[in-house]
Amino acid sequence: MQDQILIEMKGVQKWYGGYQALRNVDLTVRRGEKIVLCGPSGSGKSTLIRCINRLEAIQQGSIVVNGHRLDDSIKAIDVVRQDVGMVFQSFNLFPHMTVLQNCTLAPIRARRISKSEAEATARKYLDRVRIGDQADKYPAQLSGGQQQRVAIARALCMQPKVMLFDEPTSALDPEMVKEVLDTMIGLANDGMTMICVTHEMGFARQVADRVIFMADGQIIEEGAPDAFFRNPQHARTRQFLGEILAHH
Amino acid sequence: MTPHFGLAEFGFLLRGLQWTVLLTLVAFAGGCTAGLAVALLRTCGHKGVEWITRIYIGMFQGTPLLLQLFVVYYGLALTGLKLDAFVAVAIGFTVNASAFLGEIWRGAIQAVPRGQTEAAMALGLHYSSRMRDIVLPQAIRISLPATIGYLVQLIKGTSLAAIVGFIELARAGQIVSNQTFQPLLVFGVVGAMYFILCWPLSWWGSRMEARLALASQR
């Protein structure tokens, strides 16, 4: 079970017009694995995870999620999105809905479960991210850290097989980073498969099974966090780690 | 003997006012319905459809409303479709309003941050739900001041319907003025009637705009 493959990307290429954002990317993620993606801005790490739930289309290569091959058909995209949860840098909560409504909308509309069942599930996950008492507030009434925890709960309500995090703490004030990271660590400890684009190297050391370094749309290097941080193989990786670790 | 401006004349103006309001309501309701379709087609992501809608909007924004009313009233009559004056102007105003409202809402739909649509897609929501539950509720809020502004323009613009012989408020005023030779008084009353219709709407619109500005500061 542990070795079951959940995501398999092979030879993925992506262009924005003449600019190549992903170059021949191969990535295999097993069930339960926690992966941290890092790299300089513009290296393609966000683009990579956005291809997994088809927020971005790829031009070449293949992506298989939970046994379903992702192609251009609405059905394939649908099936894959049901299995993949995503948390964004800018939260992207729906501002005209309460916290609870944010969490119940997709289960009701996309999974077609009853409102009462959706609310019960939503309250369970809101409690789990320790924000259950704010269920009837609107996003604007919450702090950034609270909003991001709601966004995590909202994604969990769809009961995804894997969670994608796109720089989830980059837009937060420093004092709120920890509460979001703690939530993510809790999720990791519960066995959730996760791919996190982040510069939080402490988080990477603590929960990642593998750390992947990208530059110029390519995967340059990957390894277990210990080896990756202690003994990076490539000059680009060393340079990058030198730059971001200097700030910590 | 020339009649003076009295209760009968005032009643005549009130009936004109009634037609103005009715025409506005029909044109606005029709324009909203068709305008929503125009706005959705204009933002559907299909290049061909977006271009056709763009041309549709451009055509109605780029030619005088007067001309459009002529085409509907006289033009369609030439093809054998003789329309009642009210029906003809109602069609003309509806189609015209659909282009303007469509363009206002196109802008509002595009003003909803892209991240909202992306979050909805990531949650597995389909187009209909993304629009109905996420994008349109926010777009309508954004577009409310401009929409109300357009409604005010529409109320006053219905006076053009007089050109094909439809008696609404402005035309009724002209008739009464010609009978009584009291243009200042008559048009003063007519103006006051338009003002009573339009001013509260304008006020509501600008209050809404101030509220939105405040909300976006937070």
Consecutive 10-residue averages of pLDDT for chain A (248 residues): 82 95 96 96 95 96 95 92 96 96 97 96 96 96 96 97 97 94 96 96 95 96 94 93 78
Task: Report pLDDT digits (tens) over B152-190.
Answer: 999 999 999 998 889 999 999 999 999 999 999 999 999
Distance from CA of A16 to the nearest CA of B (A): 17
Confidence at B65, pLDDT banded by 50, 70, 90: very high
Q: Does A103 touch chain B (CB under 8 A)?
A: no
A229 in Cβ contact with A201 (< 8 Å): yes
Listed in sequence order, the residues at least 6 apart from A50 whose beta carbon sits closer than 8 Å to its beta carbon are A56, A166
Residue A3 is predicted with a pLDDT of: 61
A chain contacts of residue B133, beta-carbon cutoff 8 Å: 94, 105, 109
Residue A248 is predicted with a pLDDT of: 56
A21 in Cβ contact with A44 (< 8 Å): yes
Instruction: Check whether B120 has a pLDDT greater than 90.
Output: yes
Alpha carbon distance B168, B171 (integer Å): 5
Q: Does A115 touch chain B (CB under 8 A)?
A: no
Distance from CA of B95 to the nearest CA of A (A): 31
Task: Write out the two tokens for A58.
Answer: 């790829």
Nearest CB to A96; choose among B120, B129, B137: B137
Residue B78 or residue B15, greater confidence: B15
Q: Does B126 touch chain A (CB under 8 A)?
A: yes
Name which of A149, A55, A52, A160 is nearest A111 in CA terms.
Answer: A160
A chain contacts of residue B143, beta-carbon cutoff 8 Å: none
- Closest-CA residue of B relative to A157 is B123
Nearest CB to B116; choose among A85, A94, A155: A94
- Closest-CA residue of B relative to A78 is B124
The DSSP string of A31-81 is TT-EEEEE-STTSSHHHHHHHHTTSS--SEEEEEETTEE--SSHHHHHHHH
Cβ of A94 within 8 Å of Cβ of B134? The answer is yes
Task: Report pLDDT digits (tens) over B82-114.
Answer: 888 899 999 999 999 999 999 999 999 999 999
Instruction: Check whether B212 has a pLDDT greater than 90.
Output: no
Residue B103 is predicted with a pLDDT of: 96
**ipTM score assigned to the predicted complex:** 0.94
Q: Which amino acid is at A118?
A: A
Instruction: Check whether B217 has a pLDDT greater than 80.
Output: no
A137 in Cβ contact with A99 (< 8 Å): yes
- Give the containing element (helix H, strand E) for A5: strand A5-16
